[in-house]
Amino acid sequence: MVAPDDQELFETEASWSDAHGALLCLHTGDWRTERPVFDNDKCNACGFCYIYCPPQCVVDDEDGIHYKADLDYCKGCGVCARECPKGAITMAPEGDYSDACPA
Ligand code: SF4
Ligand code: SF4
């Protein structure tokens, strides 16, 4: 894929694997109403959430095995939760985390 200014937008044709830097431009976390909560005890590290997340904001967890959402860019669509084969992702109301909201 070639951008209008003739610069390569993606390094390969697998846009889902390259899109992270190019497409994460909207801080959708500002208006999200639900967030995905990952249960690492249920997770088998299959990576489906990483693959299916539309804006590619599922990232490696600190343990290097599991995954988490980059909440600056997660829009709360719930696709990761629906695709997870282990039921390891639960969508939780953003209001449950209201203390984390900026004043
Ligand atoms: S809720 Fe949607 S945007 Fe957020 S991590 Fe899951 S798939 Fe990605
Ligand atoms: S889809 Fe579910 S089981 Fe697979 S890596 Fe993501 S959280 Fe873990």
Residue 27 has pLDDT above 90, yes or no: no
* Position 102 in a domain: no
β-partners of residue 83 are none
Q: Is the pLDDT of residue 76 over 70?
A: yes
Q: Average pLDDT over the chain, rounded to whole?
A: 81
The whole-model pTM stands at 0.78
Distance CA 95, CA 99 (A): 8
Task: Tell me, yes or no, whether 19 lies in a domain.
Answer: no
| Residue 5 pLDDT level (bands cut at 50, 70, 90) | low
CATH code: domain of residue 46? 3.30.70.20
Any atom of ligand 1 within 6 Å of the Cβ of 29: no
Q: Is the CB of 67 under 6 A from ligand 1?
A: no
Q: Would you put residue 76 in left (φ > 0), alpha (ψ -120 to 50) or beta?
A: left
State the pLDDT at residue 29. Answer: 74
As given in the structure block, the two tokens for residue 72 are 């600056």
Give the closest residue to 24 by CA, choosing from 83, 77, 72, 79: 72
Residue 70 lies in a domain: yes
How many other C-beta atoms can be found within 10 angstroms of the C-beta atom of residue 73? 21
